[in-house]
């Protein structure tokens, strides 16, 4: 009986995933249509913290349409006021443009990220890289995919691997810790990358392009979708303290393939 219920649930999730992915593809077209981006760019808290009219347009579009996928779900988008708790009931956790600085500067490493959670547990995740036309998707217990093909984390130990990291740009107090951790991992690894879109950094771990990723401070919309894509691809994700990620607050993120899941315990964080 339980199995049957789960099966129905998976089907429902898969239907919701299809609809969400179609909307995210349309949101990607807004990004691809962008022109004169600097002229519609504003500083939020500093020159390192930007928002463009396109971030707002993508968020507006998704807010207008995502309710059709899951009526009644909370919309928890980066550019909104955050007065409600995304860990209660159904909630879309949305980053309209992850990698805004890249987008503004014409560095084609930017994503749309949409996660749908139920009581704080992400049920489906969609991350679109509109420039590479790569659509990463996952539903809970249903595997992870890129453009419909199954993806899996790599099997390489960090000694044969490369890692991604983020600089927690909006929380400069983590600068020293970030550099110290980067040095420790770099001493063991072949190389590292700082690509500028946490959602895509997580997808890179999920599809085996990198072996690890970490950042000292990310928001729920940065990691909601990507976290499910990593675990459904056979990877591991937690905070740098080894605790589960929570959608209700900012936290650190450590994502790795399965063979490197314990490397964190050997590092000073």
Binders in 58-117 for ligand IPD, by CB under 6 A = 95, 98-100
Q: Rule CB under 6 A: say whether 222 interacts with ligand IPD.
A: yes
Nearest to 226 by CA among 157, 151, 143, 127: 127
Q: Rule CB under 6 A: say whether 198 interacts with ligand IPD.
A: yes
The entry of ligand IPD, Ca ion, none near residue 226 (CB within 5 to 8 angstroms by kind) is: none
How far CA 42 is from CA of 55, 79, 91, 214, in Å, comes to: 11, 13, 28, 28
Residue 58: CB partners within 8 Å, gap ≥ 6? 27, 30, 31, 96, 97, 112
The entry of Ca ion, ligand IPD, none near residue 196 (CB within 5 to 8 angstroms by kind) is: ligand IPD
Chain residue at closest Cβ approach to Ca ion? 98
**Residues 117 and 86: beta-carbon distance below 8 Å:** yes
Question: Interacting stretch for ligand IPD, rule CB under 6 A, among 127-135, 181-189, 195-203, 254-262?
Answer: 195-203
How far CA 28 is from CA of 4, 62, 83, 84, 88, in Å, comes to: 36, 11, 27, 27, 28
Nearer to ligand IPD, 222 or 232 (CB): 222
Q: Report d(CA 114, CA 118) in Å as an integer.
A: 14
Strand 212-218 relative to strand 251-256, pairing:
antiparallel
Output the smallest distance, CB 100 to ligand IPD, in A: 4
The entry of ligand IPD, Ca ion, none near residue 227 (CB within 5 to 8 angstroms by kind) is: none
Choose, by CB under 5 A, the member of 21, 30, 69, 98 that binds Ca ion.
98
Q: Rule CB under 6 A: say whether 169 interacts with ligand IPD.
A: yes
Nearer to ligand IPD, 140 or 167 (CB): 167
Binders in 64-93 for Ca ion, by CB under 5 A = 78
Q: Rule CB under 5 A: say whether 232 interacts with Ca ion.
A: no
Choose, by CB under 6 A, the member of 31, 128, 206, 218 that binds ligand IPD.
218
Choose, by CB under 5 A, the member of 95, 201, 211, 215 that binds Ca ion.
95
Output the smallest distance, CB 200 to ligand IPD, in A: 8
Residues near ligand IPD, by CB under 6 A: 95, 98-100, 166-170, 196-198, 215, 218, 222
């Amino acid at each position: 009986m339980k199995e049957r219920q789960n099966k129905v649930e998976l089907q429902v999730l898969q239907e919701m995933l299809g609809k969400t992915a179609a909307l995210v593809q349309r949101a990607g077209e807004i990004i691809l249509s962008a022109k004169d981006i600097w002229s519609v760019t504003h500083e939020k808290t500093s020159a390192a913290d930007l928002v463009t009219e396109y971030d707002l347009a993508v968020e507006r579009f998704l807010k207008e349409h995502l309710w059709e996928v899951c009526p009644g779900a909370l919309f928890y988008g980066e550019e909104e006021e955050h007065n409600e708790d995304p860990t209660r009931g159904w909630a879309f956790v949305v980053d309209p443009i992850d990698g805004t600085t890249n987008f503004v500067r014409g560095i084609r490493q930017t994503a749309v990220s949409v996660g749908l959670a139920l009581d704080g547990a992400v049920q489906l995740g969609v991350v679109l890289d509109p420039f590479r036309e790569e659509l990463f998707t996952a539903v809970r217990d249903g595997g992870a995919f890129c453009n419909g093909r199954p993806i899996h984390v790599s099997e390489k130990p960090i000694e044969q691997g490369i890692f991604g990291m983020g600089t927690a740009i909006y929380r400069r107090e983590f600068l020293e810790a970030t550099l110290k951790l980067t040095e420790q991992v770099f001493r063991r690894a072949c190389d590292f990358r700082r690509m500028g879109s946490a959602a895509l950094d997580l997808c890179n771990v999920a599809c085996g392009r990198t072996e690890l990723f970490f950042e000292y401070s990310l928001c729920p919309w940065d990691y909601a979708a990507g976290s499910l894509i990593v675990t459904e691809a056979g990877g591991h994700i937690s905070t740098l303290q080894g605790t589960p990620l929570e959608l209700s607050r900012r936290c650190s993120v450590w994502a790795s393939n399965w063979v490197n899941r314990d490397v964190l315990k050997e590092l000073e964080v």
